């Protein structure tokens, strides 16, 4: 009983006493249970139940649903990008960091709500993989894809739970800006093969993602080294490590799909000549 009591006390300390009192009652924020349930269900469906269900079925079209979903993600990403730009031009970057305003004034609450919308967006983005499964596009469900979609909601949860504002705003807006472009690409590609000629810029999207990781990593190194910033040091470390992992994984993807593939195509062309 003593062990259970200590565990409960530890849980209460971490997820109640340490958390931001302004956001702890918000949707999907009170504790880790709802998010972990969503992520466990997501991984089980996308790796086991979904492929098994689709094994003997034809792929679903979902064209209208996916179109509406892409529009939603673009609108949400534009809003978060706008919020980040407004934040940078109105808040002070002091000693290499944006501190979190933990007050309940309207501006601070607006920044906190922006972090929640980023977090909510990462939860809704899990539908990317669900749509892949239902459309039988299993080739696109790689380790990189699953890792990316699983870790981002977790980082979003930590952000809204313990650092609802400050440094999280510009970091989230950089990611949101990339997603505006990414979901615009998805939107156009879903319109039909006649629009493929307008998607020549696909490889540059991956390049932008790599630049994104470098910028966010730089921001977190600065915030970690800052002596006067209240942005959690452990969160800077988590995000920095994740940026490094993403840079390696996306870098490998870029090399395999654009550099190595291009070299292979050139060699094949020379042989034909």
Mapping DSSP to helix (H, G, I), strand (E, B) and coil, where does residue 135 land?
Answer: coil
Give the CA distances from residue 193 to residues 66, 142, 186, 198, in Å, rounded to whole numbers and listed in that order.
16, 24, 12, 10
Reference 217, options 247, 189, 190, 193; nearest CA is: 247
Sign of CA dihedral 180, 208, 154, 225: negative
Q: Which residues are part of the catalytic machinery?
A: 148
Distance CA 215, CA 171 (A): 9
Using the CB atoms, write b or e for 26-50: b if 16+ within 10 Å: bebbebbeebeeebeebeebbeeeb
Give the CA distances from residue 57 to residues 42, 43, 48, 52, 147, in Å, rounded to whole numbers and listed in that order.
20, 20, 15, 10, 27
Nearest-10 crossing angle of helices 63-90, 168-189:
150
Distance of CA 87 to the CA centre of its chain: 20
Cβ atoms within 10 Å of 178's Cβ, excluding its own: 18
DSSP secondary structure string, 184-250? HHHHHHTT-GGGGGG-TTHHHHHHHHHHHHHHHHHHHHHHHH-SS--S-HHHHHHHHHHHHHHHHHH
């Amino acid at each position: 009983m003593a062990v259970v009591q200590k565990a409960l006390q530890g849980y209460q300390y971490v997820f109640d006493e340490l958390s931001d009192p302004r956001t702890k009652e918000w949707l999907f924020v009170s504790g880790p249970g709802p998010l972990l349930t969503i992520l466990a269900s997501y991984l089980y469906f996308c790796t086991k139940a979904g492929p098994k269900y689709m094994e003997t079925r034809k792929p679903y079209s979902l064209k209208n649903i996916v179109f509406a979903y892409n529009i939603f993600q673009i609108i949400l990403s534009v809003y978060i990008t706008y919020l980040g730009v407004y934040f940078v031009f109105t808040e002070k970057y002091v000693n290499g960091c944006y501190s979190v305003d933990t007050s309940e004034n309207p501006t601070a609450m607006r920044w906190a709500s922006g972090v929640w919308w980023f977090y909510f967006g990462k939860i809704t983005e899990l539908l990317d993989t669900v749509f892949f499964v239902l459309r039988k596009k299993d080739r696109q469900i790689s380790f990189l894809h699953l890792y990316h979609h699983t870790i981002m909601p977790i980082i979003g949860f930590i952000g809204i739970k313990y650092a609802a504002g400050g440094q999280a705003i510009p970091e989230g807006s950089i990611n949101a800006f990339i997603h505006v472009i990414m979901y615009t690409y998805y939107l156009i590609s879903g319109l039909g093969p006649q629009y493929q000629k307008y998607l020549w810029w696909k490889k540059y999207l991956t390049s932008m993602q790599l630049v994104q990781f470098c910028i966010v990593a730089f921001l977190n190194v600065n915030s970690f080294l800052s002596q006067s910033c209240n942005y959690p040091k452990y969160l800077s470390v988590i995000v920095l490590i994740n940026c490094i992992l993403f840079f390696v994984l996306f870098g490998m993807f870029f090399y395999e799909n654009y550099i190595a593939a291009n070299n292979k195509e050139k060699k094949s062309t020379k042989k034909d000549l």
